[in-house]
Amino acid sequence: MKHFRRLKKIETSPKLILYRGLNLPEDEIEILRQNVGKLVSTNGYLSTSRSRDVAVMFANKVIMEIEMDMKLETVICADIADSSVFNDEGEVLFDIGAVFEMVNCVEEFEDMNANSNMNKILVFKMKATDKGSEIAKEYIEYQKKRISQSDITLMFGCLLADMGQYKKSSQHFERILYERPNDEKIACIYSSLARTCRLDGQYERSIYYYKQAYDMHTRIQPPRLISAARALNGLGIVYSEQHDYNSALENLTLSLKLYRKYGKEDEEYAGILNNIASIYCSLNELDKALDNFEKVKEIHDRILPSDHSNRAATFINIGNVYYEKKDYTTSLDYYMKCLKIKEKILPVEHQDKIRCLDNIGLVYYRMKNYQEAYVYFQKALMMAEKILTRNHVLFNDLHDHIKLVKNDCLDVETSMAPSATQVIMS
């Protein structure tokens, strides 16, 4: 948040113009065209540049030109150029969930190669906005607190990983390790590098770095046992993704014990419980999974804003367990709670809402309420047609589910593989 305040302080203009270059196939460009005049939101962090020339370097046919009103309070962005390995790019980062109004799309000509040939490029002009944002003020304050408590150097590398820029993220952390081998936060850097490797599918490297981090945190005097618990939690997630559930549970259980003894019941503690519950789902031990998800919900009830996205994720997870237990009435109740949050904090059309509508349709189908099932599947499909490409997996799922409603004589148990059983790990 310090960088956001600094950005506001150094900007003399009330508005900031930022750019992002995109390399998109034709069908996704068409979806962007269809969103002109509508509100759009990012699923993750959005990296932009002050320089149009930098954006052009990364563009194939499309540039986003974003106008940012510096008076907006509900849109969080940060100038991270000084923290970036690539500080010549003038990078400005928008936080998760930033909402933009797609104003228009114009064709312009740009010099995009060394031969000075002028190529046509599409410029989508957007404005950061608080329209459609019903997120409570307490949620905004929660986000500010989260950012202000983070080490900006570590946070930047983690944000790169969140944006899928794993190579840049690894380079960032490796540069810090090389330049500051005796840094007091070296163990935290190892943990962050381990996370990047996990997200990139480099599981053995991830395990190595998490173990390095754990050993350092426990050897230092006094031991940093909460940080050690975080490293164990990371190890548990890696083992889970490798389907080594016994090793995953072993590390997550030890992580929970350390956190229970030396920490407090905060969101990180809830995250460990959530991951343990997810393992039990994978092992089909549904009662144990439900017990842990309920503990997560109790913590979220105490510490999170009522419309926080993590609460919606927990409602989905609990609904999934009840779905598997064939308690469809309770499952439906939790899916509806999830949808209520998503309708408040997300734009009118969003992929997460499509999945939620599909899950509700599946529950109604299991309850043999085919009319309601059809209504929700159709709502999901209409939204998907506006924002997803035709080859997206959700399209096939939705069409399959609608066919099931129309042919309700099919065997439900063998014909449908519902998306409702996917759990969300922390």
DSSP 376-396: HHHHHHHHHHHHS-TT-HHHH
The whole-number pLDDT of residue 199 equals 93
The whole-number pLDDT of residue 15 equals 87
Mean pLDDT of all residues in 302-310? 90
Q: Per-residue confidence at 350, pLDDT binned at 50, 70, 90?
A: confident
Name residues whose C-beta falls within 8 Å of residue 414's C-beta, 6 or more positions apart in sequence: none
The whole-number pLDDT of residue 357 equals 97
The whole-number pLDDT of residue 426 equals 63
Beta bridge partners of 230: none
- Residue-averaged pLDDT of the chain: 83
Whether 143 has a pLDDT exceeding 50, the answer reads no
77 vs 397, residue with greater confidence:
397
185 vs 21, residue with greater confidence:
21
Rounded to whole angstroms, the Cα distance separating 173 from 156 reads: 10
What DSSP state is assigned to residue 71?
A: T
Mean pLDDT of all residues in 64-86? 75
Q: Per-residue confidence at 406, pLDDT binned at 50, 70, 90?
A: confident
The whole-number pLDDT of residue 97 equals 65
What is the Cβ-side half-sphere exposure of residue 424, based on CA atoms within 13 angstroms? Answer: 19
265 vs 379, residue with greater confidence:
379
Whether 418 has a pLDDT exceeding 60, the answer reads no
Whether 113 has a pLDDT exceeding 90, the answer reads no
Whether 137 has a pLDDT exceeding 50, the answer reads no
Whether 423 has a pLDDT exceeding 90, the answer reads no
Mean pLDDT of all residues in 255-279? 93
CA distances from 181 to 33, 171, 174, 186, 307 (A): 49, 15, 10, 7, 42
Rounded to whole angstroms, the Cα distance separating 52 from 90 reads: 10
Query: Pick from 163, 161, 146: which is nearest to 2 by CA?
Result: 146
324 vs 182, residue with greater confidence:
324
* CB atoms near residue 253 (< 10 Å): 15
Rounded to whole angstroms, the Cα distance separating 320 from 317 reads: 5
Reported for 345-349, long-range contacts at CB under 8 A and 24+ positions apart, including other chains, are 345/97, 345/133, 345/134, 345/135, 345/139, 345/307, 345/309, 345/312, 346/41, 346/97, 347/38, 347/39, 347/40, 347/41, 347/99, 347/132, 348/38, 348/39, 348/132, 349/38, 349/383, 349/386, 349/387
Q: Assess contact for 89 and 54: CB atoms under 8 A.
A: yes
Give the distance, in angstroms, between the CA of residue 210 and the centroid of all CA atoms in the same chain: 22
The whole-number pLDDT of residue 82 equals 63
Rounded to whole angstroms, the Cα distance separating 21 from 55 reads: 4
Domains and CATH numbers, the chain: 2-142 (3.90.176.10)
The whole-number pLDDT of residue 18 equals 92
CA distances from 27 to 31, 32, 93, 122, 141 (A): 6, 9, 26, 14, 38
Q: Per-residue confidence at 411, pLDDT binned at 50, 70, 90?
A: very low
Rounded to whole angstroms, the Cα distance separating 254 from 258 reads: 6
102 vs 333, residue with greater confidence:
333
Give the distance, in angstroms, between the CA of residue 404 and the centroid of all CA atoms in the same chain: 31
Rounded to whole angstroms, the Cα distance separating 246 from 252 reads: 10
Instruction: Kindly tell me the burial class for residue 14, based on how many C-beta atoms sit within 10 Å of its own C-beta (0-12, 13-18, 19 or more).
Output: exposed
Whether 413 has a pLDDT exceeding 50, the answer reads no
Residues 357-396 have pLDDT tens digits of 999 999 999 999 999 999 999 999 999 888 777 778 888 8
Whether 144 has a pLDDT exceeding 60, the answer reads no
326 vs 131, residue with greater confidence:
326
The whole-number pLDDT of residue 415 equals 43
Name residues whose C-beta falls within 8 Å of residue 123's C-beta, 6 or more positions apart in sequence: 62, 63, 64, 65, 105, 106, 107, 108
Whether 93 has a pLDDT exceeding 50, the answer reads yes
11 vs 158, residue with greater confidence:
158
Query: Pick from 266, 182, 199, 205: which is nearest to 230 by CA?
Result: 266
Mean pLDDT of all residues in 51-64? 86
- Residue 242's H or E segment, with its range, is none
Rounded to whole angstroms, the Cα distance separating 315 from 256 reads: 22
The whole-number pLDDT of residue 140 equals 47
